[in-house]
Amino acid sequence: MMKFSRIEVALKMKQTGIVPVFYHQDVEVSINVLKACYEGGVRVFEFTNRGDNAHEIFRHLIEYRNQFLPELALGIGSLVDAPTTALYIQMGADFIVSPVVNEDMAKLCNRRKVAWCPGCGSVSEISFAEELGAEVVKVFPATQVGGPSFIKAVKAPQPWTNIMPTGGVKTTFENLQEWFNAGAYCVGIGAQLFIKDADGNFDLKSIKEKVIELRGYVDDLTNELNAV
């Protein structure tokens, strides 16, 4: 069973501002990256279902989270069907992220009060996803769909919509400023966050420091927007 309700997950997304999106086939590597992000201030983390036996790795991450990372909402991404969604819900996923809008997935998540973040590329898809109960929608691929200007355009007629752009979000202050000024609820960040050393291994110290830096950017941007 999930640890955090869908409302709690949505609030954590807003408070943290950034949602790391990560996959690796090695359990130890995945745990170490998860821990580095948590130590940097992340409280929402999306592991992606992108490799063989990804559910086995996720099971280990859930067990580690339950024991050592009590404030972390741990979800699974890249799901496109209800059966796989059911598998991960049974394993304890706090939220489900998808690149598509799938009504069967929505019904399943709603029945168990699990947060569901579907991928949308149009205003119609966003509106339908909200009709199906999505509290936060994922705009994906965010840059190709239209970038910050797309989010700003959506928020004009639908100011209640909570959008998480994913795909093309960069780790610079200037890029985050564009997204949040346009009205992003939070942002999903993938490869650019997961820094590697000269040998090709994940640099855990640098990842933690980068998360701390990004969290500072988000706090500054949020304070600026609230002051307006």
Residue 70 one-letter amino acid:
P
| 3-class SS of residue 108 | helix
Task: Report the distance separating Cα 22 and Cα 147, nearest Å.
Answer: 21
What does the pLDDT profile of the chain (228 residues) look like in tens digits? 999 999 999 999 999 999 999 999 999 999 999 999 999 999 999 999 998 899 999 999 999 999 999 999 999 999 999 999 999 999 999 999 999 999 999 999 999 999 999 999 999 999 999 999 999 999 999 999 999 999 999 999 999 999 999 999 999 999 999 999 999 999 999 999 999 999 999 999 999 999 999 999 999 999 888 876
Return the domain boundaries, the chain.
6-227
Cα dihedral 117, 52, 88, 48, rounded to 10, equals -30
May I ask the CATH architecture of the domain 6-227? Alpha-Beta Barrel (3.20)
| 3-class SS of residue 202 | strand
Is 0.95 topped by the overall pTM?
A: yes
